[in-house]
């Protein structure tokens, strides 16, 4: 049988009506990360986290928000980074992720283009009057 505290915790952790994403109220998140709720509000004011809101304006933190908070707290607690430094690191991290995605798209396009060219070369060589084996080799032709 569930205890009263477990029942309260389950009520505070909501579910997204459109999917299975869990959302957590500020009190649950503060306890989980052992920070004061004011700290979480400060992080929101500074633009480091952006929890969603209910119609009643209650902050709801997603799993993604919790991951972000964990990263922020590791920077501040473990590495001694101040909030200005955290903001710079978060912006750089976002830029790096964007560049990685662009590189992946570029590599995919290059691979597709190379694949098309190989197919075109295979079609052209199959239509040739004289087939030459071993691309790149030079052959000497003699007159008779």
Q: Does 42 lie in the same domain as 75?
A: yes
Q: Check which CATH number belongs to the domain holding 30 and give it.
A: 1.10.1660.10
Instruction: In whole angstroms, give the CA distance from residue 63 to residue 135.
Output: 55
Segment 22-26 shows an average pLDDT of 94
Residue 68 and residue 17 share a domain = yes
Asked if residue 123 is part of any domain, the answer here is yes
| pTM > 0.75 | no
Q: Are 49 and 40 in contact (CB under 8 A)?
A: yes
Q: Are residues 68 and 43 in the same domain?
A: yes
| Whether residue 93 is found in the same domain as residue 64 | no
Determine the Cα–Cα distance for residues 66 and 24; give it in Å rounded to an integer. 9
Residue 44 clears pLDDT 90, i.e. is over it: yes
Q: pLDDT tens digit string along 78-132?
A: 999 999 999 999 999 999 999 999 999 999 999 999 999 988 888 887 776 666 6
Q: What is the number of other CB atoms lying within 10 angstroms of the CB of residue 4?
A: 7
Residue 138 in any domain: the answer is no
Percent of the chain with pLDDT over 70: 74
Confidence of residue 8 (pLDDT cuts 50, 70, 90): very low
Residue 100 to residue 95: CA distance in whole angstroms:
9
Domain containing 15: what range? Answer: 1-81
Judge if 53 and 118 occupy the same domain: no
């Amino acid at each position: 049988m569930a205890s009263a505290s477990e029942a309260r915790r389950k009520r505070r952790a909501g579910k997204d009506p459109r999917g299975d994403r869990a959302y957590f109220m500020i009190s649950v998140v503060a306890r989980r990360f052992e920070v004061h709720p004011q700290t979480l509000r400060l992080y929101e004011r500074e633009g480091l986290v952006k929890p969603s809101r209910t119609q009643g304006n209650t902050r709801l933190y997603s799993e993604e928000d919790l991951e972000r908070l964990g990263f922020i707290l590791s920077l501040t607690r473990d590495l001694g980074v101040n909030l200005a430094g955290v903001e710079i690191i978060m912006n750089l991290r976002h830029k790096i992720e964007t560049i990685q995605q662009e590189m992946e798209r570029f590599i995919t396009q290059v691979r597709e283009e190379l694949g098309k060219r190989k197919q075109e070369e295979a079609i052209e060589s199959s239509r040739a009057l004289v087939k030459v084996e071993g691309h790149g080799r030079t052959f000497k032709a003699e007159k008779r």
